[in-house]
Amino acid sequence: MSVLEVEHLSVSFTRYTGGLQQQKVEVIHDLQLRIDEGQIVAVVGSSGSGKSLLAHAIMGILPGNAVMTGSMRYKGEPLNAARQAALRGHEISLVPQSVNYLDPLMSVGAQVRASVKHKDPLTEQRKVFERYQLAQGVERQYPFQLSGGMARRVLLSTATISGARLIVADEPTPGLHHEAAQETLRQLRELADEGCSILMITHDIESALHIADKVAVFYAGTIVEVALTADFAGDGQRLRHPYSQALWQALPQNEFKPIPGVQPLPGELPAGCLFAPRCAVAAADCCDKRPDMRELRGGTVRCFHAS
């Protein structure tokens, strides 16, 4: 069953360019995504491509000056602002990218306990702190007293304890040492195996492949491919989009081959396919029109020539 469906999502900001001049800049374009029950979908892609904005759009916490179009459905029903507010922090939980999301004036134990709805808050908080190896005294501490890794485990505790059915984890592992990061990923997989759906944003493709069911590849504000985890293998021939293949080949453990050029900035996008200027196999039509998302070999791709 599909838990989250995102259809034709676009997000823009209004930029003031001196005086009364305004410019509308679109940062997410016509994005499609679907997550099924108990599935982990990893979202990978370069910095500034719009991954966190996607997370914030799903949670309903985009900044006030953002304009969103398109639609989202959660468990088959429209996910509008009112429903997002009702489900946020309980059924749908965010592990934010920045530890600055913690309230600096509240002990971390109290913050985590605030997410417990039906059970005993203190018992649940202590259980989850034990699970994430946070010593008992930590519950009385304030965010500024914690290391980055500890703060991150507090954020994870909040999402885990909330009983969420959908967790949006925005870079859950940076700042954790290798073992703690692996343990966190294992715990996310465990939650998914218990039926929770997880959207995991990450820079670490290699780790994501250990736990994800599908991988969504983000480029310049849209998802260009949704691949099966098994497609990331060998020289990447099973991947559908030239950018996914280039990203895979750029990894140190593969060919370590850099991708020429840079990702276009929002507001300066090419008219055709967003990847065309850097694509080794782009043809004339790629520069004129933007390809739609289409199904291919059990995944989806936004490329005219993928086969």
Ligand X SMILES: Nc1ncnc2c1ncn2[C@@H]1O[C@H](COP(=O)(O)OP(=O)(O)OP(=O)(O)O)[C@@H](O)[C@H]1O
Q: 53 contacts which partner out of Ni ion, ligand X, none, CB within 5 to 8 A by kind?
A: ligand X
In the complex, minimum distance from the CB of residue 75 to Ni ion, in angstroms, rounded to a whole number: 26
Q: 13 contacts which partner out of ligand X, Ni ion, none, CB within 5 to 8 A by kind?
A: ligand X
In the complex, minimum distance from the CB of residue 143 to ligand X, in angstroms, rounded to a whole number: 20
Specify the residue, 51 or 302, whose C-beta has the smaller distance to Ni ion: 51
> Residues interacting with Ni ion, by CB under 5 A?
51-52, 97
Whether 72 and 166 have beta carbons less than 8 Å apart is answered as no
Tell me which residue has its CB nearest to ligand X. Answer: 52
Tokens 């259809």 locate to 7
In the complex, minimum distance from the CB of residue 48 to ligand X, in angstroms, rounded to a whole number: 4
What is residue 4's three-state secondary structure?
strand
Q: 48 contacts which partner out of ligand X, Ni ion, none, CB within 5 to 8 A by kind?
A: ligand X
Specify the residue, 53 or 161, whose C-beta has the smaller distance to ligand X: 53
Opening angle at CA 116, ends 111 and 118, nearest 5: 160
Specify the residue, 55 or 246, whose C-beta has the smaller distance to Ni ion: 55
Q: 173 contacts which partner out of ligand X, Ni ion, none, CB within 5 to 8 A by kind?
A: none
Tokens 């939650």 locate to 191
In the complex, minimum distance from the CB of residue 7 to ligand X, in angstroms, rounded to a whole number: 19
DSSP H helices, the chain, are 51-59, 81-87, 108-113, 121-131, 148-161, 178-193, 205-211, 242-249
> Residues interacting with ligand X, by CB under 6 A?
13, 27, 47-53, 63, 97, 266
In the complex, minimum distance from the CB of residue 173 to ligand X, in angstroms, rounded to a whole number: 13
Specify the residue, 161 or 246, whose C-beta has the smaller distance to ligand X: 246
* Sign of the CA dihedral running 222, 228, 230, 231: negative
Specify the residue, 221 or 299, whose C-beta has the smaller distance to ligand X: 221
Tell me which residue has its CB nearest to Ni ion. Answer: 52
Cα(128)–Cα(188) distance, integer angstroms: 13
For 3, which DSSP code? E
Whether 170 and 97 have beta carbons less than 8 Å apart is answered as yes
Q: 266 contacts which partner out of ligand X, Ni ion, none, CB within 5 to 8 A by kind?
A: ligand X
Q: Report the residue count for the chain.
A: 307
Distance from chain centroid for Cα 127: 27
Specify the residue, 128 or 212, whose C-beta has the smaller distance to ligand X: 212
Q: Is 73 exposed, middle or buried (0-12, 13-18, 19+ CB in 10 A)?
A: middle
Residue 283: partners with Cβ closer than 8 Å, 6 or more residues away:
304, 305
In the complex, minimum distance from the CB of residue 190 to ligand X, in angstroms, rounded to a whole number: 25
In the complex, minimum distance from the CB of residue 49 to ligand X, in angstroms, rounded to a whole number: 4
Q: 172 contacts which partner out of Ni ion, ligand X, none, CB within 5 to 8 A by kind?
A: none
Q: 300 contacts which partner out of ligand X, Ni ion, none, CB within 5 to 8 A by kind?
A: none
Q: What's the count of helices (H) and strands (E) in the chain, helices before strands? A: 8, 12
Specify the residue, 129 or 218, whose C-beta has the smaller distance to ligand X: 218
Whether 275 and 242 have beta carbons less than 8 Å apart is answered as yes
